[in-house]
Structure 1
Amino acid sequence: MLITEISPADDPLGSELLALQQAAYAIEAQIIGDDRIPPLHESLADLRAQPLLWLGAVDEDGRLVGAVAWEETAAEVDVNRLVVHPGALRRGIGRALVKEVLVRAGTRRIVVSTGRDNAPARTLYERLGFALLGEAEVIPGLWIANYALPA
Structure 2
Amino acid sequence: MITKINFTETDTVQKLFDLQKAAYQVEAELINFFEIPPLKESFQEFQQCGEEFLGYFIDNKLAGAISYTIENEELTICRMVVHPAHFRKGIAQKLLVAMELQNANCSAFKVATGRENTPAKNLYEKNHYQWKRDVEVAPDVYISFFEKAGKN
- Indicate whether the TM-score tops 0.5: yes
Structure 2 CA distance, aligned partners of 1:7 and 1:116? 31
Say yes or no: does 1:136 pair with 2:127: no
Report what 2:110 is aligned to: 111
AA matched with 1:147: F
Q: Is the 8 A contact 1:57 1:67 kept in 2?
A: yes
Cα offset, 1:140, TM superposition = 3.7
Mapping for residues 1-151 of structure 1, pairs under 5 Å: 2-59=1-58, 61-107=59-105, 108-151=107-150
Counterpart secondary structure, 1:12: helix
AA matched with 2:65: A
Q: Is the 8 A contact 1:8 1:15 kept in 2?
A: no
Q: CA RMSD in A?
A: 1.1
AA matched with 1:101: M
CA distances 1:102-146 after superposition (whole Å, capped 9, x unpaired) = 112214200000001000000000000000001001234431000
AA matched with 2:86: A
AA matched with 2:143: I
TM score, norm. by length of structure 1: 0.94
Cα offset, 1:5, TM superposition = 0.2
Structure 2 CA distance, aligned partners of 1:131 and 1:150? 9
4+ residue segments displaced more than 2 Å = 138-142
TM score, norm. by length of structure 2: 0.93
Assess, with a 3 A threshold, how the Cα gap between structure 1 residues 104 and 74 changes in structure 2: closer, same or farther: farther
Cα offset, 1:63, TM superposition = 0.6
Cα offset, 1:78, TM superposition = 0.2
Structure 1 CA distance, aligned partners of 2:120 and 2:61? 22
Structure 2 CA distance, aligned partners of 1:115 and 1:7? 28
CA distances 1:41-87 after superposition (whole Å, capped 9, x unpaired) = 2111011110100100000x211000000000242000001000000
Gaps of 5+ in 1: none
Cα offset, 1:7, TM superposition = 3.1
Q: Is the 8 A contact 1:8 1:17 kept in 2?
A: no
Structure 2 CA distance, aligned partners of 1:9 and 1:78? 23
Gaps of 5+ in 2: none
**Percent of counterpart pairs with the same letter?**
32
Residues paired across the two proteins, number? 149
